[in-house]
Chains A and B, each alone.
Chain A
Amino acid sequence: MPITRCDGHLLKEALLGAVAWLTVNREEVDSLNVFPVPDGDTGTNMLLTLQSAVEAIRDLDDPDLSLTAKRAAHGALMGARGNSGVILSQVFRGFATAVADQPAVDARGLAAAFSNGATVAYRAVIKPTEGTMLTVAREAAKAATDRAAQSDDLTETVRAAAEGASAAVERTPTQLKILQDAGVVDAGGFGLQVILEGFLKRMRGEDLERLEKPVTHHALPRTVASPEEGWGYCTEFIINGDDLPVEQVRQEIVRRGQSALVVGDETAIKVHVHTHEPAAVIGYASGVGTLSRLKVDDMSAQHHRLQGDGGKRLNDLKPLAVVAVASGEGIRRILESLGVDGGVPGGQTMNPSTQDLLAAVEAAPAPEVLLLPNNANVILTAQQVPALSRKRVRVVPSRSLPQGIAALLAFDFGAGLEANGAAMAAALDQVRTIEVTRAIRKSEVNGLTIAEGDVIGLLDDQIVAAGRSAPEVVERVLSTMSVEDGQTVTIYAGADAPEEERQAVVAVVERRCPAATVELQSGGQALYPYILAVE
């Protein structure tokens, strides 16, 4: 005999069926996420929401439909997680409102409750998008309504809803470009389909303990960044704002590049696109809203580097860049890790030319550039650059690597060229520089008798100690100064500094400066086995 009345008991059973069926399908729903964001597990979020609805009626044994629906809707609301869970809870809310004060409904009443569920869910989303769970909810309700007009059999109503959902889910990639690009159907929509199928299975009397996963799987997301032809920049960012025109942004981004992914709502839009002109894309986007998580990867940078042409540089990507002279691969990496955009090779005996510095400044990704010479012998060269460059350039006259790093640490992300130039210049004196090298000839300096090949120690460019070994000289230099509590001593070991000797230098510093933090770094600089920063 067909089921023609839906009361509280039936709804409870249907929801138990939905939980069981969604549990079986959860992983597949989870797998359909377009972006691998940490909290984006749609299936898990929907299941937790649904479980919360069921928990709210687990101990309820009441034939009254309105009471059961109301409790379940409240449970869903309290347990709603993630966007998909929130939308699901709104479907429940709409359902419960439609059956309020009704102890039971017939097929038409059930279809009307589904319809109201979809309507309320649409209202909860500030800017509804087609091709999502909302579309699936609406299409399912529509199919149920059509069938209920012809048949009183509730099983048929629910079957129509499930089939309508399934058909709508399969269409979602044609409605949402991100789904099409990723080659998946909408996860939330599929989750809703699974819930309706669970209803149906229970109404047909299937055993909840024995539900098994169907063999058919939806396609998994494919790698959206397809192999690239030619040069280009993988450009990613999030546009933040109010009332963002998502569709307009999507069209504009798609027009400007390949493999475009544009998702979000009117407060945040995530953009991923491959383009030859990232600056133009970013320029457009920054006119739409505030940008965050900006990331531009030159997909062929390595190739360019191997060719030695410095690669295609991005112009004007940020307001302010820093270019610094780096004597040694380790030092270049350290400087870049602290925000330097261009490291110019050059040290004590291989000072970079004005042309070298100018080229690096021109290639830096900003219209304004701070230039750190990091060597007393490079300052004058650097000071030629502002007059030669098309850009606004300010030289921060750092005389040593430690001074350059102290300047970088004073960089204020919230300030511009002038303010940063001043703050960084003021920071130069906050650090003391010890350099250890070998005398190239014999001499008498500052009362010291130095033989050729002696190890000598300089404190802020002045020779203050000489001796046979680096640890011994470092100790003598340190004995001429005071290192206070809370200070940091950084030792940059040069290319020629042997490992055991590095440890001996660390030991000397730790003994001499027991209250300081000591850090050993591989600088890789030539000629100066040790450079120490005391700050």
Chain B
Amino acid sequence: MVTDSTADIPKDVQQALDITVVPLNVHIGEEVFRDRVDLSGDEFFRRLGQSAALPKTSQPSVGAFEETYRGLLAQGHDVVAVLLSARVSGTYNAGLTAAQAVAPDRIEVIDSQMASMALGFLVLEGARLARAGKSRREVADHVRALVPKARVIAAIDTLTYLQRGGRIGKAQALLGSLLNVKPLITLKDGEVQPLGRARSRAQALDRLVQLLERDGAITHLAILHGGARADAERLRERVAPHYPGLDISFAETGPVLGTHTGPGVIGFTYLVK
């Protein structure tokens, strides 16, 4: 299983499940960092608060994917790559171009239409099947069937970052509020779309819980947050009683996603039943 760094999969899980992560890049001034490799989310948000210059992001190169694929093929593996939504990033296209150049018959590349652990869960599900000895085709079919079940909903402090990064999509309908509101957004059809507005962070958290519960039964759930651990812990305590037996993890936003959400992003990533 190959994915990219926006999947927000914790390092220990990556290692335990043999998932290869190709990093995107974040550019701060003249410096370039590999997402979640050279720079952690915490460190990124700390810098973001201190620096006036806005960071930029870039997709992994085709070559980076080719190297990754070649390495895995050389070890005798076939590859299923599940990547960040093609509507918001060229990562999927880079992964696909590389696959066509390397070994199109041994590599499946899937557009998750998602980000963060909503993407990560698809990868984990694929990895589970891969470790059970399923074929490339079976793993890919399973993951593709799960794509429509993946969800990410989040509250952000400001739309500024999404707007400046050019990723605001249909959520631009939320722009321009004269009242101080917290935008609620989602990824739908692979792009950023508006969910609503909340008057305060507390109200935003309430709305997120309502939206999650409205989606009914779920199979996977992680609390997404960018440097907002305390809020994330509280959200977990609030929703945990509704999902007995479900392991609710945290998805810490890395530098690349953080560049586009800004600090304080919080939300849910999950798969519906």
Q: Which of B97, B181, B186, B190 contacts A86 (CB 8 A)?
A: B97
Cβ–Cβ contact A521 & B179, under 8 A: yes
B201-259 interface with A by 8 A CB criterion:
201-203
Instruction: Contact check, A74 vs B166: say whether CB atoms are below 8 A apart.
Output: no
Asked if residues B63 and A74 are in contact (CB atoms below 8 Å), the reply is yes
Residues of A within 8 A of B51 (CB): none
Chain B min CB distance to A286 (Å)? 13
- In the assembled complex, B170 has its CB within 8 A of some CB on chain A: yes
Q: Are A77 and B197 in contact, CB atoms less than 8 angstroms apart?
A: no
User: Are B170 and A292 interface neighbours, CB within 8 A?
Assistant: yes
Query: Any chain B CB within 8 A of the CB of A409?
Result: yes
Contacts of B166 in A (CB 8 A): 37-39
Known contacts A293-B172, A413-B195; is-contact A80 B200 (Cβ 8 Å): no
Among A102-110, A483-491, A505-513, the one that faces the other chain is A483-491
User: A411 contacts B200, CB within 8 Å?
Assistant: no
Report the Cα distance A244→B97, complex, angstroms: 19
For residue B66, CB closer than 8 A to chain A, the reply is yes
Q: Does A226 lie at the interface of the complex (its beta carbon under 8 Å from any beta carbon of B)?
A: no
A502-535, CB under 8 A of B: which get 1 and which 0?
0000000000000001010100000000000001
The minimal Cβ–Cβ distance linking B69 to chain A, given in whole angstroms, is 13
**Chain A contact residue count (CB 8 A cutoff):** 43
The one of B61, B198, B203 in contact with A79, judged by C-beta atoms closer than 8 angstroms, is B61
Pick from A89, A338, A486: contact of B62, CB below 8 A. Answer: A89
What per-residue 1/0 map shows which CB atoms of B45-81 lie under 8 Å from chain A? 0000000000010100111101000000000000000
Within 8 A of A (CB), among B150-191: 164-166, 169-170, 172-173, 176-181, 186, 188-191
Any A CB within 8 A of the CB of B145: no
- The reply to whether A290 and B180 form a contact with Cβ atoms under 8 Å apart is no
**A81–B179 touching, CB < 8 Å:** no
Q: Are A334 and B179 in contact (CB under 8 A)?
A: yes
Q: Is A267 interfacial (CB 8 A cutoff)?
A: yes
Contact (Cβ within 8 A) B64 A78: yes
Whole-angstrom distance between the Cβ of A274 and the nearest chain B Cβ: 21
Residues in A neighbouring B188, C-beta threshold 8 A: 414
Known: A292-B169, A413-B195. A486 touches B97 (CB 8 A): no
Distance between Cα atoms of A294 and B172 in the complex (Å): 9
The docked-state distance in angstroms from the alpha carbon of A411 to that of B198 is 10
Instruction: Tell me the nearest residue of chain A to B60, going by C-beta.
Output: A78
- Known interface pairs A80-B61, A333-B178; A267-B86 also in contact (CB < 8 Å): yes
Q: How far is the CB of A491 from chain B (nearest CB, A)?
A: 12
**Are B173 and A339 neighbours in the complex by a CB distance under 8 Å?**
yes
Which residues of chain A come closer than 8 Å to B190, judged between CB atoms?
Answer: 240
What's the least CB distance linking A297 to chain B, in Å?
Answer: 14
Chain A residues, CB < 8 A from B58:
81
Checking A77, A410, A413 against B66 with a beta-carbon cut-off of 8 angstroms, the contacting residue is A77
Does A240 contact B61, Cβ atoms closer than 8 Å? Answer: no
The reply on B87 being an interface residue by CB < 8 A is yes
Indicate whether B194 reaches chain A with its CB closer than 8 angstroms.
yes
Distance in Å: Cβ of A522 to nearest Cβ of chain B: 9
B193 is an interface residue with CB less than 8 A from chain A: yes
Whole-angstrom distance between the alpha carbons of A39 and B90 in the complex?
Answer: 12
**Residues of chain A contacted by B164 (CB below 8 angstroms):** 38
B61 to chain A, nearest CB (A): 5
B189 and A409 contact, CB distance less than 8 A:
no
| The residue from A38, A412, A485 contacting B196, defined by CB atoms under 8 A apart | A412
A440 within 8 A of B: no
Q: Which residues of B contact A409 (CB under 8 A)?
A: 181, 196-199, 203
Are A124 and B63 within 8 A (Cβ)?
no
- Whether a CB of chain B sits under 8 angstroms from the CB of A159 is no
**Closest Cβ neighbor of B200 among chain A residues:** A488
Q: Tell me if A337 and B62 are in contact (CB < 8 A).
A: no
Complex-state Cα separation, A485 to B179, whole angstroms: 19
Partner of B179, one of A37, A80, A338, A487: A338
Shortest CB-to-CB span from A138 to chain B, Å, is 20
**Interchain CB contact under 8 A, B197 and A240:** no
Tell me the complex Cα distance, A341–B253, Å.
35
Q: Is the CB of B61 within 8 A of A338?
A: no
- List A438-491 residues whose CB lies under 8 Å from chain B: 485-488, 490
Does B132 touch A at the CB level, under 8 Å? no
Residues of the B chain whose Cβ atoms lie less than 8 Å from the Cβ of A488: 199-200, 203
Task: Decide if B16 is an interface residue (CB 8 Å cutoff).
Answer: no
* Residues A240 and B87 in contact, CB atoms below 8 Å apart: yes
Tell me whether A240 and B62 are in contact (CB under 8 A): no
Cβ 8 A contact of B180, one of A411, A414, A519: A519
Contact check, A410 vs B181: say whether CB atoms are below 8 A apart.
no
B101 within 8 A of A: yes
Interface residues of A in 50-103 (CB under 8 A from B): 74, 77-81, 86, 89, 93
Contact partners of B201 in chain A: CB under 8 A:
486
From A124, A333, A412, give the contact of B195 (CB < 8 A). Answer: A412
A517: B residues at CB distance < 8 A: 180, 200
Q: How far is the CA of A334 from the CA of B177 in the complex (A)?
A: 7
Interface membership of A405, Cβ < 8 A: yes
Task: Return the CB mask of A255-274 against B: 1 if under 8 Å, else 0.
Answer: 00000000000011000000
In contact, B179 and A519 (Cβ under 8 angstroms): yes
CB contact under 8 A between A124 and B173, given known A80-B61, A338-B197, A535-B199: no
Q: How far is the CA of A485 from the CA of B180 in the complex (A)?
A: 17
From residue A406, how far is it (CB to closest CB) to chain B in Å?
8
**A78 engages B61 (CB within 8 Å):** yes
CB < 8 Å neighbour of B178 from A290, A292, A334, A413 = A334
Q: For A89, list chain B residues within 8 Å (CB).
A: 62-63
Chain A proximity of B64: nearest CB distance (Å): 7
User: Residue-by-residue, is A414-457 near B (CB-CB < 8 Å gives 1, otherwise 0)?
Assistant: 10000000000000000000000000000000000000000000
How many angstroms between the C-alpha atoms of A337 and B183 in the bound complex? 13
The contact string, 1 if C-beta is below 8 Å from chain A, for chain B 76-103, is 0000000000110000001001000100
CA of A334 to CA of B97 in the docked complex: distance in angstroms? 47
Which residues of A have CB within 8 Å of B94?
86
User: What 0/1 readout, one digit per residue, does chain A (373-412) give for beta carbons within 8 Å of chain B?
Assistant: 0000000000000000000000000000000011011111
Q: Give CA–CA (A81, B62) in the complex, Å.
A: 9
Complex Cα–Cα for A408 and B199 (A): 10
Q: Are A124 and B181 in contact (CB under 8 A)?
A: no
Query: Could you tell me the distance between the alpha carbons of A130 and B140 in the complex, rounded to whole angstroms?
Result: 35
Give the complex CA separation of A292 and B88 in angstroms. Answer: 12
**Interface of chain A residues 115 through 167 with chain B (CB within 8 A):** 124
B162–chain A nearest beta-carbon distance, Å: 12
Closest to A330 in B: B178
A124 touches B179 (CB 8 A): no
* Selected contact of A80 from candidates B63, B169, B177, CB within 8 Å: B63
| Residues of chain B with a CB closer than 8 A to A79's CB | 61, 63
Sample 25 A-B pairs with CB under 8 A, ordered by A number.
A37-B166, A78-B61, A78-B64, A79-B61, A79-B63, A80-B62, A86-B97, A124-B97, A240-B189, A293-B172, A294-B170, A333-B178, A334-B178, A334-B179, A337-B176, A337-B177, A338-B179, A338-B197, A409-B196, A413-B194, A413-B196, A414-B186, A519-B180, A521-B178, A521-B179
Closest 7 CB pairs of A and B: A78-B63, A486-B202, A77-B63, A337-B178, A413-B194, A334-B178, A337-B177
Given A38-B166, A410-B196: 12 more A-B contacts, CB < 8 Å: A37-B166, A78-B63, A81-B61, A268-B87, A293-B170, A293-B172, A294-B170, A339-B173, A406-B199, A487-B200, A488-B203, A535-B203
